[in-house]
Structure 1
Amino acid sequence: MTAIKHLHFTKKLSMMSVCEQEEAAEMISEWPVIEQEVHVPVKKSSNSVPLTKRKHKVEEENGVQSFKTKRAHTLCTSNLEEPLVKVAVAKWWRRQPEEVKNHYTDNLPCSENSDTVLAGIMRLEITQSFMRSEVTRLNDIIKINGPSSNVQAALGSFFEKLGDFDSAKHHLEKAVLLNSDNPDSEHKWLLGRVSKQVKVQRDQRSALHSLPSSSNLSMPVYQKVDRVSAEDLTSERFYEEYSSKQRPVIITDLRVTASPMSPQDIKTHAGDCVVTLKHSVQNSCEWARLENKEKITVSDYIDRIEGLDDKSQLDRNASPGYLFDWSLPIHCPRLVEKIRIPRYFAASAFLLHDTACLLGDFLQRTSEGSLYRDSWPSLFFAPAGLCSELHVDAFGSNFWMAVFQGSKRWVFFPQSDLPYLYPQYPNSMDPVFEADIRNPNLENQPLLHLTHPSECILSEGEVLFVPAGCPHRVENLTKSVAISANFVDLSNWDNVLEELELNALVDPRSQDLLQQFTSLTFDKKMKFYNRGVIRTMRVPFWQPPARLPTRPPFSTF
C-alpha cells in the first residue's frame, strides 16, 4: 500500500463506525493477498446442477472441488495483535464460501450455542488444516521478528485446539514469561486451563500401564451410597465420616421446608416469574451438556410438565425443557422463607445455651453482595427422562440436594477418578466429559476399568450430600421437584482457593471473593453443636462477634 493510499485510508477510517473500522482493519491485515486451497468432497447426485457462475473460482479434480479463497500472508506483524484461536477460526469460517459451509452443515452440532458450534467447526478437517497452516505462519513470524507475548499466546491457543497440549502449555508459558512485568491475565488464565488438560493426559498415560489385557476390561460394579437417619447423624459425625473424606451420603428423616413445596405452591409464589429452560445437547461444550432452550413463565412451564406422563419417552429434539438451578434468593425470595437449611450445611453464628456457635458454609461469612453468597438455594423442576450429563460442581464447592417430589438416579465417581472419565476443558475450568457411562465402550475408553462408581436413587423426603470435585450424572426417573445449594467449609477449602485463583484472573467478583477468603481477618473455623454438646475445630484465634443473632438467617435444624 503506497503512502498516498495509506493517508487516504486513514482519513476514511476516522469517519467510520467501530464495526466498519474492524472490517477495514481486517482488510489491511490481508495485504498482500495469497491464495489458499480448501478441498471439499463433492456429494454425488444424479440430478445435480453444475455451478457455472461463482464468486470464487471452482475446479473439480477426481470428485473434489477446490475452492480458492484468500487469506493474509503477513509475517511482519510486530504492530498487529494476533487473535487467539477462537477469534481467528470464527473470522476464517465467516469468510468461507456458502457452498463450503453448506457442505458441512450435517457435520456440525445441532445447537444455537456459539461455543458448541465453533467447537464443531474446529473438529472439521478443513479447519484443522487451516489451524495447522496458522501454526506454521505464527512460527515464521517468531523466526523473523523474534518472540512476542501476543504471538506466543496465539500459537499456544492453536496448539490446544489441535490437541497438542504440551506444546500449547510451552508457548503459553513463554507468553506469560515474556510479559512478566505486566502479564496478560487472559494468557495466564488460558495457561491455567491448558495445564489442567496436561495433568489429565499425564495421569492417563501413567494409568494405562496398570491396565490388564483388553480382554479383561470391564466397567466396575456400582457401589451403594450410605443412607443415614438424621436422628443418628450428628454434625460432627457427618463432617468426619463423609464431608472430610469426600464420601456422598443420603440423609433421611429431615424436613427442609416448614410446609410442603408442591408444584401448586411454587406456582402460587413464583408463577409470574420468567425462567430460562435448559435442554440436553449432544457434544455440547457447556457444563453438564445443558444449553439454554427458551424463556417461559414458571406457571406455564409447570402446566406443561404436569400434563406429561412419567412413562412417555422424551424426544431430544422436542424436549419440554429443564428448570435447572434457578436461584431462589435472586428470583423468588418468598420461596426462600419456607426453607430450613439442614444443620450439616448451615451457616452463620448464633447462640445456643448462651454459647457462641459457628457452623459451616464460609460463603455466608462474606460481605453482602459477594459472589455466590446469595445464589442458593436453587430450584430444580423436570419431567421424567431428562438428564444432566456427567459434570463437576463449579469452583470446588460441596453440594447438597433435597427432593420434594419424585425420584432421581445419581451416579458418582470420586475426585481421583476424574482423569479416567476423559475430561475436556474447552472453554472454562469446568470440564465436560467424553466418557459415556450409560453405554461404556472400554475398547475406546479403557480407563473406565479403573473407576470407582457409586449409585443411588434419591427419593422424596431425602437429602443428598455430594462432595466437592466428584463427577456425577443425574437422571430424573419421574417428574421431580428439588432444591439444592453449594457451600464451602474446611473439607473443600483448598479446592475452592485453587479454583478461585484461576477464575480471579478474568473475573473481578472471583477476585473479590478470593481476597476475602485469604484475608488474615477472615474467620474459617467451624464449631459443631448437637443437643447442647459443642466441639471446636481449628479455632485458636476465633473471637465471637460482639453481637450474635439468636438464630441464623435461614432456619436450621
Structure 2
Amino acid sequence: GPGRGLKTAPIPRASAGELSPEAFYAFNENGRLPVIVEGEVKSHLASRMSFQDLKRLCGGGLTETSVYDPGTRGWAGLSGKKVMTMAAYLDAHILNRTKAADEDRDLVYSSGAVGLPEFCPKLQFFMPVPKYVATGVSPIDAHGVQPGQPEQYIGPTGTKTELHMDNFLIPFWMSVYKGAKTFRVILFEEIYDTPSLKAFFLDHKKTRWERKVPSSGGNGAVEKKELEIWRPDFAVFPELLEATVYEGTVNAGDWIFLPGGALHAVSNEGDSWGVSINALMPQAIETFADVCTKANFEWKCDAFAEAVSPTCRNLKDR
C-alpha cells in the first residue's frame, strides 16, 4: 500500500499523568524527539464539545479554508484559499455534509491562519495549555500585536497536509479533540546528518519539494512532480528510502509534541479538530540553537531568536 518501502518507526508514547514536565523532557531528549501523550487533553472542556457547540460559541469568527492538492506548489500542498465564517464552514463541510456531496466536492480543510485570540477568544478557556509546554514563548505578528496562535485545524475524513517544515524551527504541539490525526515526521537531525536528505530538503528551502521528470507525452519535455509522503514515489524521490519516518495516530483526547525543524505531514480520519501552537520552551533552547545554526538561520529562526533574546539582538547589532 501507500508508504510501503518507507522505513517507519512508531512515535514514542506516554500516558497522561505518567510524566512530570521534567521527566517529559528527559523522555524526549530536551525536545529532540516527537511524543504522543495519550489522554492528556481528555479532561479539557473542548473534549466534550460537539461541532454544534463550536458553531454556537464561535460561528461568527472568520476562518481560512483550503483544499489538499497533490499538484500544488503551495505550502503543505494546500490550495484554493477562501475566508468564511466558522458557522458557514461547519454547516457546509462538517454538519450537513452528505455522501452524494462528498463524491463531487473537494475536501475542504479549515486550517490555521487565524489565531484564537482574534478568531474566538473565549474558546481558549475550553482548551488549557498542557503542563509540559506552559512556559513556551510563541511568535506574534510583525506588528507585535496579534498572536496568530493557538490556531485550529478542522477537517473531514481524508483531508491532509503534505510534508512541510514550520517557520521559526521551534517545537510544535497539538491537542486533538475530535477524530484522529496520523502524523508522518522526519527529524531535522536526521535530514542534516544524511547527505542526500540534506541536499534535497535543506539546501533548497521550499514550501513544497519537487523534481523535474520526463513528461508523459515524451518528446524530451519535462514536468514537475511534487513530493507526496502519503503516496511516495521512490523512483523520483529515492532519498525517502533513507529517511526514518516517525508515524503515529493522535486520537481524540491525545496530545502530540514535535521537535523544532521536523518535517511533518498530517492525514485526518473522522471529522477531526485539533488546536496547535509553535512555541519555544526553556528545556528546548539548546536544541533550538543547534537546529537554527545548522539550518543556516533560515525559516526565520534568527528573527525569532532576536525577538525572544536581548543577547541575540545585541550580537546582531554589533
Q: Which amino acid aligns with 1:420?
A: L
Change (3 A) 1:295 1:367: closer
1:423 corresponding residue in structure 2: 201
- Residue in 1 that maps onto 2:108: 321
> What residue identity is the alignment partner of 1:251?
V
Paired residues for 1:358-373 under 5 Å = 361-363=136-138, 370=144
Q: In the superposition, relative to structure 1, how do residues 471 and 278 fare at CA in structure 2: closer, same or farther (>3 Å)?
A: same
Contact 2:57/2:123 (<8 A) preserved: yes
Counterpart-to-counterpart distance in 1, 2:101 and 2:141: 47
Match of 1:414 in 2: 187
Deviations for 1:478-503, whole angstroms, at most 9, x for unmatched residues?
A: 11111111111242431457879556
1:487 equivalent to 2:274? Answer: no
1:472 Cα deviation after fit = 1.4
Greater C-alpha Rg: 1
Give the deviation of 1:514 after TM superposition.
4.2
Quote the Cα distance in structure 2 between the aligned partners of 1:444 and 1:394. 26
Contact 2:165/2:263 (<8 A) preserved: yes
- Is 1:254 aligned to 2:49, yes or no? no
One-letter code of the match for 2:45? A
How big is the alpha-carbon RMSD for the aligned residues of Structure 1 and Structure 2? 3.4
Check if 1:293 corresponds to 2:81.
Answer: yes
Provide the TM-score with structure 1 as the length reference: 0.45
Deviations 1:122-164 (A, max 9, x none): xxxxxxxxxxxxxxxxxxxxxxxxxxxxxxxxxxxxxxxxxxx
Any conservation in 2 of the 1:238–1:344 contact (CA below 8 Å)? yes
Residue matched to 2:68: 280
Contact 1:398 1:486 in 2 (8 A): yes
Matched residues in 2 for 1:465 and 1:503: separation?
19
Per the alignment, residue 473 of structure 1 pairs with: 265
Which of 1 and 2 has higher RCO (CA within 8 Å, sep 6+)?
A: 2
1:399 to 155, 172, 175: 172
Q: 1:390 to 1:343 in 2, by over 3 A?
A: same
C-alpha contact 2:176 2:251 (8 A) present in aligned 1: yes
Residue 515 of structure 1 pairs with residue 303 of structure 2: no
The one-letter code matched in structure 1 to 2:68 is: S
Contiguous gaps of at least 5 residues in structure 1: 1-217, 348-360, 523-557
Q: Aligned partner of 2:30: which letter? A: S
Identity of aligned residues (%): 23
The code of the aligned residue for 2:309 comes to T
The question of 1:308 aligning with 2:308 is answered no
Distance of 2:141 and 2:107 partners within structure 1: 39
- Listed one character per residue, the Cα deviations across residues 73-98 of structure 1 (whole Å, up to 9, x for unaligned) are xxxxxxxxxxxxxxxxxxxxxxxxxx
3-state SS in 2 of match to 1:330: helix
Alignment coverage as a number of residue pairs: 281
Q: Kindly indicate whether the alpha-carbon contact (under 8 Å) linking 2:169 and 2:299 is maintained by their aligned counterparts in 1.
A: no
For the 8 Å contact 2:305–2:312, the answer to whether it is kept is no
Measured in 1, the distance between the counterparts of 2:261 and 2:299 equals 16
**Alignment partners' CA distance in 1, 2:143 and 2:119:** 15
Distance 1:431 1:417 in 2: 19
Measured after TM superposition, the shift of residue 384 of structure 1 is 0.7
2:44 counterpart letter in structure 1 = T
The C-alpha deviation readout for 1:150-199, integer Å capped at 9, x for no partner, is: xxxxxxxxxxxxxxxxxxxxxxxxxxxxxxxxxxxxxxxxxxxxxxxxxx
TM-score (norm 2): 0.76
Asked if the contact 1:423/1:432 (under 8 Å) is kept, the reply is no
Structure 2 letter corresponding to 1:322: Y
Residues 110-509 of structure 1: pairs in structure 2 closer than 5 A: 219-242=5-28, 244=30, 246-255=32-41, 257-259=44-46, 260-304=48-92, 305-308=94-97, 318-325=105-112, 326-347=114-135, 361-363=136-138, 370=144, 374-418=147-191, 419-420=196-197, 422-423=200-201, 429=205, 431-434=207-210, 435-489=227-281, 490-491=283-284, 492-494=287-289, 495=291, 502=298
Amino acid paired to 1:234:
S
Is the 8 Å Cα contact of residues 413 and 472 (structure 1) preserved in structure 2? yes
